[in-house]
Amino acid sequence: MSDDGNAGRSEGWLKKRAYGRKLKALLADSPKCFVVGVDNVGSRQMQQIRQALRGKATVLMGKNTTIRKVFREFLAENPDHPMAELLPYVHGNIGFVFTDADLIQTRDTIVANRVPAPARVGAIAPVDVIVPPGPTGCDPGQTSWFQALQIATKINRGQIEIINPVHLVTKGEKVGNSEAALLQKLSINPFTYGLVVEAVYDNGNVFDPAVLDITEDDLITKLHVGISAVAALGLEIGYPTLASLPHSLSNAFKNLVAIALETEYTFEKAEAFKEYIANPGAFGGGGGGGGGGGGAAAAAAEPEKEEEEEESAGGAGGLFDDEEDDWKRLDPIPRLNDPVGGGGGGGGGDAGEAAKEEEKEEEAEESAGGAGGLFDDEEDDW
């Protein structure tokens, strides 16, 4: 028995020595490392994660006491090594993922492998658990069990149906016996488990894994905001900085140009501004005026065009309108009974008698009536 015991102790000692050499080599050679939590991760799931990271990273687990001992031996051999920043994270159920590949891609591979799991009694809920409304598949004889959990139900088609959503477990709380039994009865696996990245080591810097979600665009935006703040502060207090210097030079140039415009003093860069104020038409202002003249000519041409369209579309009414205008423009025609100036007396008397006879005839025709007389009178008047 003593021989077997010595053999067992020597084998365990050799395994620890081999583990220590492997961990020291990874600490010395790996520029990047993840500290991961492995709560509720089974051996089969761990094997799948190792296969996914094969050739990209090395997953190393172990007892915390052994890991701390190896860390202390490594730091004693390598004083002030930056890996000492990882020693405070060696507590709880943790492991290491050493890599020299891209941190974001490696992180995505680590967290991608997650397995749904049932809610066990006493487990800490990583998320809120809400049971949706709907049929449960339970017979009506189990109604009292739901009433004990204060869950509103009804009987529908021979089975119990939950009426409203039920907030069963709150994140961070322990899962009780009743909650675990209900979730098991409803065949609900509310939790998913996998490796959880707790810290990231990169060339001597240890930071939160959320930093990996920051993109280059976010960094550039933050940089612009910081430079703008520095420039504004420098301009306000009159302290020149690299950020505020371009703005100071621009403001000084504006002041010099303003002085040159108000006085006879000038310099090379201000000549263009003075020429523009003295002769704005030379910088494209005259072209606008020419365009305006063309617009006026076009506007004047539009009424003429409309008049031509009206004349061409006139018809019979337009013809009579033209004639009426022509008659109005003619001089009045002297009537037969009007005195004619400059003539002889005898001729005037004969004309007067003829006019009287003609008037008598017209009166006779008017007394006879009829539409034709009316038109005849008008024709004679003309």
pLDDT of 287 higher than 50: no
Q: Burial level of 296, CB count in 10 A (0-12/13-18/19+)?
A: exposed
Higher-pLDDT residue of 65, 264 = 65
Share of the chain above pLDDT 90, in %: 25
CB-based contacts of 241: which residues, under 8 Å, 6+ apart? 230, 231, 234
pLDDT at 59: 93
Q: Which amino acid is at 147?
A: Q
Query: Which of 230 and 148 is assigned the larger pLDDT?
Result: 230
The one-letter code for the residue type at 259 is I
Residue 311's pLDDT band (cuts 50, 70, 90): very low
For the cut 80, the answer to whether the pLDDT of residue 296 exceeds it is: no
Torsion of CA 365, 367, 371, 375, to 10 degrees: 50
- Look at residue 313 in the predicted model and tell me its pLDDT: 45
pLDDT of 370 = 47
Mean pLDDT computed over every residue of the chain: 77
Question: How large is the average pLDDT for residues 9-13?
Answer: 76
Residues contacting 86, CB < 8 A, separation 6+: 33, 35, 71, 96, 199, 201, 206
pLDDT single digits (tens) 199-211: 999 988 999 999 9
So what's the pLDDT on residue 73? 92
pLDDT at 323 over 50: no
Instruction: Indicate the DSSP class of residue 42.
Output: -
Q: Partners of 135 in the beta sheet?
A: 161
Q: Is residue 250 predicted with pLDDT exceeding 60?
A: yes
How far apart are alpha carbons 244 and 67 in whole angstroms? 52
- With cut-offs at 50, 70 and 90, classify the pLDDT of residue 264: confident
Residue 315 has pLDDT above 80, yes or no: no
Looking at residue 192, what is its pLDDT? 86
pLDDT at 119 over 80: yes
Residues 6+ apart with CB under 8 A from 194: 41, 45, 49, 110, 111, 113, 114, 115
User: For residues 322 and 360, what is the distance between their CA atoms, to the nearest angstrom?
Assistant: 35
Distance of CA 160 to the CA centre of its chain: 46
143: tokens are 């109604």
Q: How confident is the model at residue 304 (pLDDT cuts 50, 70, 90)?
A: low
Tell me what pLDDT residue 182 has.
Answer: 85
Q: Is the pLDDT of residue 98 over 90?
A: yes
Higher-pLDDT residue of 199 and 7 is 199
What does the pLDDT average to over 71-94?
91
Residue pair 134/143 in contact (Cβ under 8 Å)? The answer is no
Mean pLDDT of 306-311: 50
Q: Which residue has the tokens 């405070």?
A: 88
- Span 333-371, pLDDT tens digits: 444 444 444 444 444 445 556 666 767 766 655 555 444
Q: How far apart are the first and last CA of the chain?
A: 158
Which pLDDT tens digit goes with each residue over 159-212? 888 888 888 888 888 888 888 888 888 888 888 888 999 999 998 899 999 999
Mean pLDDT confidence for 122-151:
84
Over residues 1-29, mean pLDDT: 77
pLDDT recorded at residue 312: 47
More confident residue, 103 or 357: 103
Identify the residue with better confidence: 5 or 355.
355
Cα 151 from Cα 167, distance rounded (Å): 10
